[in-house]
Amino acid sequence: MDIPATITCIDCGADAHRLTPEPEDGWEVGDIVAYRCAGCLDRWDLVVADPEESARSEAAAFDLRQWLADRQSGNTGA
Ligand SMILES: [Zn+2]
């Protein structure tokens, strides 16, 4: 799991530095990682996401679009 030490602040574009130390066992999906922006001092809490789960979500969204397309093309089934 690759968690960056700094991210770019969404608000002001400055570097936001990670506050949360890496756990001894490494990062796990669902962990909260806090960042503090050096520019505007906003705090950002990010959740470690599962890349495989994200991929599955995209696949599910694609399947839904295909299903809708099939319905709209006149395939009413029973
Ligand atoms: Zn900022």
At 16, list the tokens.
């936001």
Residue 20 located in a structural domain: yes
Residue 62 falls inside a structural domain:
yes
Range of the domain at 54: 6-72
Query: How would you class 2 by CB atoms within 10 Å of its CB: exposed for 0-12, middle for 13-18, buried for 19 or more?
Result: exposed
Identify whether 38 is part of a domain: yes
- Paired residues of 46 in beta bridges: 33
Q: What is the mean pLDDT of residues 29-44?
A: 95
**Number of domains the chain is built from:** 1
The pLDDT tens digits for 6-34 are 999 999 999 999 999 999 999 999 999 99
By DSSP bridging, strand 15-18 and strand 43-47 are unpaired
What is the whole-number distance in angstroms between the Cα of residue 4 and the centre of ligand 1? 16
**78 inside domain:** no
Q: Find where tokens 């505007």 sit.
A: 40
* Spacing, Cα 61 to ligand 1 middle (Å): 33
For the segment 43-59, the average pLDDT, to the nearest whole number, is 79
Instruction: Dig out the tokens for 59 from the structure.
Output: 């696949």
Q: Is residue 1 part of a domain?
A: no
Is 54 among the domain residues? yes
* CA 21 to ligand 1 centroid distance, Å: 20
Q: With bands split at pLDDT 50, 70 and 90, how would you rate the model's confidence at 68?
A: confident
Surrounding ion ligand 1 within 5 Å at CB are 9, 11-12, 14, 37, 39-40
pTM, to two decimals: 0.65
CB 18 within 8 A of CB 34: yes
